[in-house]
Amino acid sequence: MQTKTLNVKGMTCGHCKMSVEGALEKLDGVSTVEVDLNTGKVEVSYDESKVSLDNMKEAVEDQGYDVA
């Protein structure tokens, strides 16, 4: 298992948090997602043999947020 912290721009509320968490949790290989709205950081634990960083970035960007 790997853990990666993504810097996500544009999250401002509980709905934003739920959108990002939901998009990442749907990906096969993602085990946990923790969103901190105050810092814009999203910590993701995942199986690197099943999901890539690009897959995770794309899932977040599809929800309308930018990944720095």
Tens digits of per-residue pLDDT, 31-46?
A: 999 999 999 999 999 9
- pTM of structure: 0.92
Domain residue spans of the chain: 2-67
Provide the percentage of residues in the chain whose pLDDT is more than 90: 99
User: Looking at residue 23, what is its pLDDT?
Assistant: 97
CATH of range 2-67; options 3.40.50.620, 3.30.1330.60, 3.30.70.100, 3.40.50.10540: 3.30.70.100
What is the pLDDT at residue 45? Answer: 98
Extended strands (E) in 10-55: 30-36, 41-46
**Per-residue model confidence (pLDDT) at position 56:** 97
Helix (H) or strand (E) holding 3: strand 2-9
* Partners of 9 in beta bridges: 66
Query: What six digits make up the tokens of 62?
Result: 């599809």
